[in-house]
């Protein structure tokens, strides 16, 4: 392969994903739970009235405490519904009891889907990631679902990761990968990657 070949980036992403997944799997349930509570503590930094988010599952940062905190402060929360073609529709989050198991180990709302374009209503999008670098390059799980969904949203996108998953080294990307505007971590809170300390969507 020649330098800069998309295949090079794909292989580099696969190697980095394997490393990050191994690190995540080593965390204890107690460590993950504590991280989720700390994420919820940053709810006041998110002034958007409608937030598109996700339910962290398996080894991801737990986001349910944050989702509950967003609703408790009067925000509308949209969650993804994974389609057969791996694209994302969206439905309202109405509480933990209104979630159901779905494909790929995900949890989805039981509420009726609002369709593919419902993400346009969000003023802030919280996206899952395995890592993000300081220039906003995001490493996802590899399915491409969020890259497609984010094409429909003009809102700032924030990657939700653990603190050590904000990398100094550049994250390998391919042409379809969408950058993010900020990062949310348990310890560091919400940080905008354009250098500003506060930004309203």
Residue-level pLDDT at 175: 82
DSSP string, the chain: --TT-HHHHHHHHHHHHHHHHHHHHTS-HHHHHHHHHHHHTTGGG---SEEE-----TTSPP-HHHHHHHHHTT-EEEEEEE-TTS-EEEEE---GGGEEE-GGG-EEESSPP--GGGGGG-SEEEEE-SEEETT--EE--SS-HHHHHHTT--S-EEEE--GGGEESSPPP--TTPPP-SEEEETTTEEEETTS-S----
Does 89 have pLDDT greater than 80?
Answer: yes
Q: Please compute the mean of the pLDDT values over residues 157-165 and round it to a whole number.
A: 97
Say which residues have a Cβ less than 8 Å from residue 29's Cβ, sequence separation at least 6: none
The pLDDT tens digits for 18-49 are 999 999 999 999 999 999 999 999 999 998 99
Q: From CA 94, how far away is CA 59, in angstroms rounded?
A: 23
Q: From CA 161, how far away is CA 153, in angstroms rounded?
A: 21
The pLDDT tens digits for 102-151 are 988 889 999 999 999 999 999 999 999 999 999 999 998 877 788 888 88
The pLDDT tens digits for 42-55 are 999 998 999 999 99
Residue-level pLDDT at 166: 97
Domains of the chain by residue range: 6-192
Residue 198's pLDDT band (cuts 50, 70, 90): very low
Say which residues have a Cβ less than 8 Å from residue 175's Cβ, sequence separation at least 6: 6
Tokens of 11: 């292989």
Query: At the topology level of CATH, where does 6-192 sit?
Result: Rossmann fold (3.40.50)
The pLDDT tens digits for 54-67 are 999 989 999 999 99
Mean confidence (pLDDT) of the chain: 90
Residue 2's pLDDT band (cuts 50, 70, 90): very low
How far is Cα of residue 110 from the mean position of the Cα atoms in its chain? Answer: 20
């Amino acid at each position: 392969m020649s330098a800069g070949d998309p295949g090079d980036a794909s292989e580099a992403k696969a190697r980095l994903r394997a490393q990050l997944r191994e690190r995540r799997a080593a965390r204890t349930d107690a460590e993950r739970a504590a991280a989720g509570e700390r994420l919820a503590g940053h709810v006041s930094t998110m002034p958007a009235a409608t937030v598109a988010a996700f339910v962290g599952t398996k080894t991801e940062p737990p986001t349910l405490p944050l989702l509950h905190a967003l609703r408790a402060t009067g925000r509308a929360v949209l969650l993804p519904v994974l389609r057969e073609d791996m694209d994302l529709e969206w439905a309202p989050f109405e509480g933990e009891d209104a979630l159901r198991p779905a494909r790929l180990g995900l949890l989805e709302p039981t509420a009726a889907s609002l369709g593919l374009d419902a993400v346009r209503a969000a003023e802030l999008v919280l996206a899952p990631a395995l890592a993000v670098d300081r220039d906003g390059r995001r490493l996802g799980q590899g399915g491409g679902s969020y890259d497609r969904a984010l094409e429909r949203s003009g809102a700032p996108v924030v990657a939700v990761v653990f603190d050590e998953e904000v990398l100094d080294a550049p994250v390998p990307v391919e042409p379809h990968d969408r950058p993010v505007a900020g990062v949310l971590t348990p310890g560091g809170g919400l940080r905008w990657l354009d250098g500003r300390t506060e930004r309203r969507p």
